[in-house]
Structure 1
Amino acid sequence: MDIIFFGNGARSLPCLKVIKNSSHTIKAIITHPKIESKWFAQLSQIAEISNIPLFSPKNPNEKVFENTLKFFHADLFILAGYGKILKNNIIQIPKIMCLNLHGGKLPKYRGSSPMNWALINGEDFFTLSIIQLVKLIDGGPVLMEKTFDINENTTIVDLHKIANHEFPKMLVHVLENIESDTLKISKQDEKNASYYPIRVPEDGFILWDVFNAKEIHNRIRALTAPYPCAFSFFQNKKIKFISSELNKKSFFGEPGRIYKIKDDRFLVSTKEGSLWITEAFFDESRLPFLPVGNRYESFSTIKEIGLNIYKNKNLDENKK
């Protein structure tokens, strides 16, 4: 089959390679503009070596680009990590269908960052889905799905490793079923549909007097590097959190206060319960954050520095 591949991010590379090494033909590669994507160079290199046309439109829905896509007479469009929304005029171009690789259980996890949200919500599993792209965002029939267990220490890095390893294999299976006309589809139940919004760095602000220990732990592991990380403030300095562990012992205290330091870990109380911060660093200097003795008494909460941060942010936005 003739395929146009829309890709961006780490997910796109193994999927592109598995298609390139199959019996199918990649007619063109579509990615984000160079200025928007750190993955442009790698996708561009693959395109150049393989003599595949590469396009990076700022708006893939414009009429001029629509005509470019029609020129290739593709059987399938495949989207892997491509972050731009395709309108119906583009979705209808391929002879068979558009496929999208989605990192969440549908219809519950429609929208953006489904794997991050699964961790934030404390799910015991997450699901990879390959769906048919339709006008309704993430609303198309499910062509294949695969579910994996999550434990309390699974991070977003772990989920991406699984996704980048499993999606190519799932894609090969779906392509084989399309070609052999044995594809089984499952319509989504709109009554159970829910959408999750795009996450922004400010969403990682830890409110020690609002969230309990498990909620904070879930945010830390869902937003760890390469994401912007969950963060808080200590003596007016921004601290980013890489990892944490739930405290198995019952311990309660003033939310945000460091009560114990042990082996480079520090125990912090929350709205309910406590957790160990096992790795953190100063945002500006990138130096490890290791409180010593009583030099650092407690983290700033939303009642102290937090309100000023958001006020300043709003003032800056109003000036634009």
Structure 2
Amino acid sequence: MRIVFMGTPDFAVPSLEALLTKHEVVLVVTQPDKPKGRGKKLVPTPVKACALEHGIPVVQPEKVREEAFVEELRGYAPDLIAVTAFGQILTEPILNMPQYGCINVHGSLLPKYRGAAPMQWSIIDGETVTGITTMYMAKGLDSGDMLLKKEVEILPEDTFQDLHDKMAKAGAELLLETLDAMEAGTLTREEQDHDKATYAPMITKETGHIDWSKGGQEIINLIRGLNPAPAAYTEYEGEVLKIFRAEKWQEDVPEAACSEILAVTKKGFAVKCGDGALMVLELQARGGKRMSADAYLRGHEVKTGVLLQ
């Protein structure tokens, strides 16, 4: 099959590499390069970098609905369009273009966690199992018919980065399995139960603001789900501290207001939360490096009795 691949971030690279082992990828479509660093130099997307390494033509439309892009895409006569974390919603002319349709690799067990950030929210919500779903793309948001699924375990210590890496590998494997079944004529489609759909909205900076009145495990899950970026955060006397790791503190917790710093130890500092206290173990101050809390405490004073904001 002549395949056009659409994808953008690191998560999509294993899917592209998997396709290249068995199929003809005639074009890669990815988001435009973005400026990064102090010099604001344009940096190619991870998928673009991978495509160029393999000598595959790359197109980077600002908006896929633009007529000029649609006509350019039509010129490649794709039999199938495979999509993994592309970042734009495909229009009907594109969805209807390939003979075998448009197949999406989605990072959840649909219909749960439709939307932009299914992996982060699965950790934040305390899930222990998530997975990949391949699906036919339709006009709605992640609402097309499901094809194959693969479960992925979320371990108690898994961060978003850990889960991302496991899911990227599982997504690549499932995409190949889906195309194998399609070519063998054994692929079946299942309509989603839209009444069971849940939404995983885009992660914003404010998503990471820690509410210390919540339970300890809920806060730990938030920290894990936003590690490494954009990171959960709190404020100590006006200074923003990104928090990357915390654990539940001792059982016998003194009476205090939620968000109050209860103790400073060689390991870190303990903060009162809704059902006990958490020991902060890894953090980053504005303009500083990510470091263990004990290293931070060697160069910064953290006082008990202060309320984090």
TM-score (structure 2 length as normaliser): 0.89
Look up the SS of the partner of 1:104 in the other structure.
coil
8 A Cα contact 1:31 1:40, kept in partner: no
Q: CA deviation at 1:45?
A: 4.2
> In the alignment, what sits opposite 1:202?
206
Q: In the alignment, which of 65, 72, 75 is matched to residue 71 of structure 1?
A: 75
Q: What SS is found at the alignment partner of 1:242?
A: strand
Choose the corresponding residue for 2:126, options 116, 119, 122. Answer: 122
Residue 218 in structure 1 maps to residue 221 in structure 2: yes
Out of 136, 141, 144, the residue aligned to residue 140 of structure 1 is: 144
Q: Report the equivalent of 1:266.
A: 269
Q: Deviations over 1:259-286 (max 9, x none)?
A: 2233422221112221121111212233
Residue-by-residue CA offset, 1:49-105 (whole Å, 9 max, x unaligned)? 433221000101111111111111111111112111112221111111111111112
Change (3 A) 1:166 1:205: same
What CA distance in whole angstroms lies between the structure 1 residues aligned with 2:25 and 2:50?
11
- Report if aligned partners of 1:232, 1:299 keep a CA contact under 8 Å in 2: no
- Report the alpha carbon displacement of residue 296 of structure 1 after superposing the two structures with TM: 2.1
Question: Quick one: which amino acid aligns to residue 61 of structure 2?
Answer: P
Q: CA deviation at 1:132?
A: 1.0
Give the 3-state SS of the residue equivalent to 1:11 in structure 2.
helix
Residue type matched to 2:208 in 1?
Answer: G
Q: Does the 8 Å CA contact 2:132/2:174 hold for their aligned counterparts? A: no
Q: Name 2:236's counterpart in structure 1.
A: 234
Partner of 1:21, secondary structure, is helix
For 2:78, give the aligned amino acid: A
* Structure 1 unaligned regions, length at least 5: 303-320
Counterparts of 2:149 and 2:171, CA distance in 1? 10
Quote how far apart the aligned CAs of 1:39 are.
Answer: 7.0
**3-state SS in 1 of match to 2:34:** helix
Task: List aligned pairs for 1:13-92, cutoff 5 A.
Answer: 13-22=13-22, 24-35=23-34, 40=44, 42-92=46-96
Alignment-mate amino acid for residue 231 of structure 1: Y
Aligned to 1:256: 259
* 1:158 corresponding residue in structure 2: 162
Contact 1:143 1:185 survives alignment (8 Å): yes
Query: Given the superposition, is the C-alpha separation of residues 113 and 287 from structure 1 closer, same or farther in structure 2, using an over 3 Å criterion?
Result: closer
Contact 2:261 2:270 in 1 (8 A): yes
Conserved 8 A contact 1:259-1:266:
yes
What's the CA shift for 1:12? 1.7
Q: Indicate if the aligned counterparts of 2:282 and 2:290 stay in contact, CA closer than 8 A.
A: no
Distance 1:41 1:191 in 2: 36
Partner residue, 1:184: 188
| Cα 1:143–1:266 shift into 2, 3 Å | same
Q: CA deviation at 1:256?
A: 1.3
- How many Å apart are 1:183 and its aligned residue? 0.5
- Distance change in 2, residues 1:240/1:105 (3 Å): same
The code of the aligned residue for 1:239 comes to L
Mean Cα deviation higher: 283-292 or 140-149: 283-292
- 1:7 pairs with 2:7: yes
Render the CA deviation track for 1:169-197: whole Å, top value 9, x for unaligned.
11111110011111122211011112222
Distance 1:228 1:251 in 2: 30
Residues 125, 251 of structure 1: alpha-carbon distance in 2 compared, 3 angstrom cutoff: farther
In structure 2, how many angstroms separate the alpha carbons of the residues matched to 1:297 and 1:118? Answer: 34
1:110-148 Cα offsets, whole Å, 9 max, x none, are: 111011111111112112111111111101111111112
Aligned to 2:39: none
1:32 CA displacement: 0.6
* Alpha carbons 1:220, 1:242 under 8 Å: kept: yes
Report the CA distance shift for 1:184/1:3 in structure 2 as closer, same or farther (over 3 A). Answer: same
Match of 2:303 among 274, 296, 301: 296
Q: Which moved more, 1:124-133 or 1:54-63?
A: 124-133
